[in-house]
Amino acid sequence: MARGKRKTEAEDNDSKQQPAKQAKNSKESDAEGEEQNGFVASGELVKPATRVRQLKGGDAGKGPVIYWMSRDQRVHDNWALLHACEVAQTTGAPVLIAFNLVEKFLVAGARQFGFMLRGLKELVPQMDKLNITFFLLRGDPIQTIPKLVKDTDAGLLVTDFAAMRIGREWRDGVAEKLDIPFHEVDAHNVVPVWVASDKRETGARTIRSKINKKLPEYLVDIPPVPQSAKYEGKVKPDKVDWDKIIKGAVEAGKEVPEIDWCKPGVDAALEALKAFLTKERLGHFTADRNDPNKPGALSGLSPYLHYGQLGAQRMALDAVKLRSKFREGVDGFLEESIVRRELSDNYVFYEKNYDKFEAAAEWAKKSLDLHRKDKREYLYSREQFEKAETHDELWNAGQMEMVVLGKMHGFMRMYWAKKIVEWTESPEQAIEFSIYLNDKYEIDGRDSNGYVGCMWSCVGIHDQGWAERAVFGKIRYMNYAGCKRKFNIKTYVERIDKLARKHGKSVKGA
């Protein structure tokens, strides 16, 4: 597409999943990013400029710069906010932050809404200190965001990057209604998704070197957020009664209650990061991460990463500093938290059917199709799975860990989803059930990693073909005996059962 004639995403549906043509190499992409955005060229805060892409072109006006905060719910270590500040500085305009609260988000309940809202509440004093005015909007963002832009006579709208369908639809809908420029900044990935690759990657082996090559340029320190000019506009934000909003959301979603072991918010996120970066934990990450009886070997940071209360880049920068001490642990952790995590966003962004059977590779579809009529030894309904009423106590324990704690151990997630494949009528049903349960109960659910995790388990996304067997065809299989070789199943089941009983449940079914 010719420079300067870039269409908006909303205008050009066909090109919306291939936005990265400009990012062939960093030098070239920097120059183009600067040219597209004009004002980004000074680049003192946000480097390289390719972290930013235009959803709607044009020159920024003199009015406030609004950062529509969505996926990256933090003030510090946030490239999207830094970009908003950088542009605002060139015109002396104030920076506003808007967050749009929707009443329903997929199958999120009190657990997820409570965590998010409590985290957001904590951000407001941080914004106040920087002179940044905060607007909490409610309703459909396709209506509320353009209205705020109009009411405040804003000169530029900035948002953070979303990979999932719903986030893309919101951004497209907003872009269509705007007559000011609209920029999207990948504040979630170390290497912006459109820079890492311009297509859906086959797997970790094909994206790893692409990401690693870019790290020296992208894994750089993040500057502090500058003070904003004071906002003196006529339209003021409504006073937010956080306690009332949180109470309402928790009541509405009470079927899946909040959790108490993981404190929400940016401060708690940094504390959790610090607690993980030790010899006892990070030092053992690679050796012990697949043992569900050693949950401390994992970071436990996925809730903070999911809501953007912790920047992946901050996490990586702090971990890298310890590489000389715990090389194996740090390398293993960066493989998961950069390569695998960013591969998930690559998949969800470039594959529009990311949660459907159709997304599977041809070999996988062909193989699963051949085994559709295979006899299943057990068949369970969604309700039976949900209540942990299978014959397998290990599976039930994984399910209960998720239902009660809101976070199943990473190794158990694989076993859990593989067994859903074995005990459902079709791969489509396995995808549907696993995503439904994952999104409903996991505190970190409704995430690119979750879609990839379920799709890897059910239809072999990012995997290769394995020895052919009933039901699974060539999709990788996991079984009880394999788990037995890896960890003490009895210890795990007993620990989870004890926990479940405190909540009136058990691994023998609800």
Ligand X SMILES: Cc1cc2nc3c(=O)[nH]c(=O)nc-3n(C[C@H](O)[C@H](O)[C@H](O)COP(=O)(O)OP(=O)(O)OC[C@H]3O[C@@H](n4cnc5c(N)ncnc54)[C@H](O)[C@@H]3O)c2cc1C
Candidate segments 30-38, 117-125, 168-176, 298-306, binder of ligand X by CB under 6 A: 298-306
Q: Which stretch binds ligand X (CB under 6 A): 267-275, 352-360, 451-459, 476-484?
A: 451-459
Contact with ligand X (CB under 6 A): which of 444, 472, 483, 496?
444
447 binds ligand X (CB under 6 A): yes
> Which residue in the set 33, 167, 398, 453 belongs to the binding site for ligand X (CB under 6 A)?
453
The yes or no reply on residue 262 touching ligand X (CB under 6 A) is no
Q: Which candidate, 102, 52, 78, places its Cα nearest to that of 446?
A: 102
- 413: contact with ligand X by CB under 6 A: yes
> Is residue 454 a contact point for ligand X (CB under 6 A)?
yes
Task: Calculate ∠ Cα 104-167-406, nearest 5°.
Answer: 55
- Looking from the CA of 170 toward its CB, the CA atoms found within 13 Å total 25
CA distance 215 to 231: 37
User: Which CB atom, from 64 or from 445, has the smaller least distance to ligand X?
Assistant: 445
Query: Is 466 within 8 Å of 450 (Cβ atoms)?
Result: no
270 binds ligand X (CB under 6 A): no
> In angstroms, what is the minimal distance from the CB of 153 to ligand X?
39
Residues 75, 311, 56, CA angle at the centre, nearest 5°? Answer: 70
Nearer to ligand X, 393 or 447 (CB): 447
Of positions 309, 390, 438, 506, contacts ligand X by CB under 6 A: 438
The answer to whether residue 189 forms part of the interface with ligand X (CB under 6 A) is: no
410-422 vs 393-400: helix crossing angle, rounded to 10: 120
> Residue 67 in 3-state DSSP?
strand
**Minimum distance between the CB of residue 382 and ligand X, rounded to whole angstroms?**
16
In the list 457, 460, 496, 506, the residue contacting ligand X (rule: CB under 6 A) is 457
Q: Rule CB under 6 A: say whether 299 interacts with ligand X.
A: yes
Shortest distance, position 475 Cβ to ligand X, whole Å: 13
Q: Is 417 in the site for ligand X (CB under 6 A)?
A: yes
Regarding 410 and contact with ligand X (CB under 6 A), the answer is yes
Dist. CA 443–CA 109, nearest whole Å: 10
Question: Angle at the Cα of 178 (from 168 to 135), degrees rounded to 5?
Answer: 80
Residue nearest to ligand X (CB): 453
Interface size with ligand X, residues (CB under 6 A)? 28
Give CA–CA dist 250/343, Å, rounded. 33
> Which burial class, exposed, middle or buried, applies to 383 when counting CB atoms under 10 A from its CB (0-12, 13-18, 19+)?
exposed
Of 141, 329, 450, 460, which lies in the binding site for ligand X, with binding defined by CB under 6 A? 450
The verdict on 305 binding ligand X (CB under 6 A) reads yes
Q: CA-to-CA distance for 182 and 180, rounded, in angstroms?
A: 7
Nearest distance, CB of residue 213 and ligand X, angstroms: 20
- Closest contact distance (angstroms) between CB of 448 and ligand X is 8
Near ligand X by CB under 6 A: residue from 402, 414, 478, 507? 414
Among 22, 344, 367, 506, binds ligand X (CB under 6 A): 344
Nearest residue (CB) to ligand X, 174 versus 268: 268
Neighbouring-strand partners of residue 68: 98, 159
Interface pattern 323-342 for ligand X (x via CB under 6 A): -------------xx--xx-
Tokens of 384: 């039976």
Q: Which residues pair with 96 in a beta bridge?
A: 66, 133
Complex with ligand X: residue 250 or 319, whichever CB lies closer: 319
> Is 432 or 444 the residue whose CB approaches ligand X more closely?
444
State the nearest-atom distance from the C-beta of 419 to ligand X, in Å: 11
Q: Token match 């401390």: residue?
A: 296
Distance between CA 70 and CA 79 in Å, rounded?
13
CB 182 within 8 A of CB 55: yes
Token digits for 353? 């059917």
442: contact with ligand X by CB under 6 A: yes
Return the C-alpha torsion angle 103, 109, 112, 114, nearest 10.
Answer: 70
Residue 112, interface with ligand X (CB under 6 A)? no
Does residue 399 belong to the site contacting ligand X (CB under 6 A)?
no
Q: Is 36 in the site for ligand X (CB under 6 A)?
A: no
Burial 122-161 (b: 16+ CB within 10 A, else e): bbbebbeebebbbbbbeeebbebbbebbeebebbbbbbbb
Please, what is the minimum distance in Å from the beta carbon of residue 28 to ligand X?
A: 29
Q: Which C-beta is closer to ligand X: that of 82 or that of 348?
A: 348
Picking from 406, 417, 427, the residue whose alpha carbon sits closest to that of residue 471 is 427
Catalog residues that contact ligand X under the rule CB under 6 A: 289, 298-302, 305-306, 336-337, 340-341, 344, 410, 413-414, 417, 438, 442, 444-445, 447, 449-450, 452-454, 457
